[in-house]
A and B are shown apart, each in its own frame.
Chain A
């Protein structure tokens, strides 16, 4: 069974640009969550989608947004990139409430 797939693996952008990251969950998983991991702040929750609806959002500015498609694939978008957005962005999928979340390999975003 294929795991969570995230693309691209690495991305380099400059300040002010925008970026879109993609996540394909494990087959059958309808919940997709996104996290940001930095050395200073650790792993922080961004948002969660289930059946194309955002059900929960973490404490991040509106520049961070996402969506989920009918096949459960999800995208995350960050607009007007800042240096502080440099991080590992992780997607996780699960079967549903209180079920374990399984992470993809992540997208490492570097802002120059």
Chain B
């Protein structure tokens, strides 16, 4: 059973701070990793994709991947109240099947 683990939270950070979201996965053969943001009552929205070890930055978001440790993280700099949502880590197990973590609920306090 391939698993993706996330802390369910809530993770509470003050406005302007850095939010750090973490994810571990069980399948060493996984090659593609994604972060999605899901607002309550809405569908998941792709934020970041990462395929190689290291960091990938896009605006206020940075994804970090460490395949040896089977660890993916998402950093959100200068957090805003509009960032309050559930963040889903997804791992592509191959053949277009994404395995999702249960999500981390982020609350950004004004």
- Interface residues of A, Cβ cutoff 8 Å to B: 31, 33, 35, 42-45, 48, 50, 55-56, 58, 88, 90, 92, 94, 97-98, 100-106
Contact = CB atoms under 8 A, between A and B. Distances in A.
A94 B103 contact: no
Interface residues of B, number: 23
A105 B103 CA distance: 18
A100 B97 CA distance: 11
A94 B46 CA distance: 12
Interface of B: 31-32, 34, 36, 42-46, 49, 51, 88, 90, 92, 95-103
Contact of A45 (B43, B44, B51, B97): B97
Contact of B100 (A43, A50, A105): A43
A101 B43 contact: no
Contacts of B32: 98
B46 A33 contact: no
Contact of A42 (B46, B96, B97, B102): B102
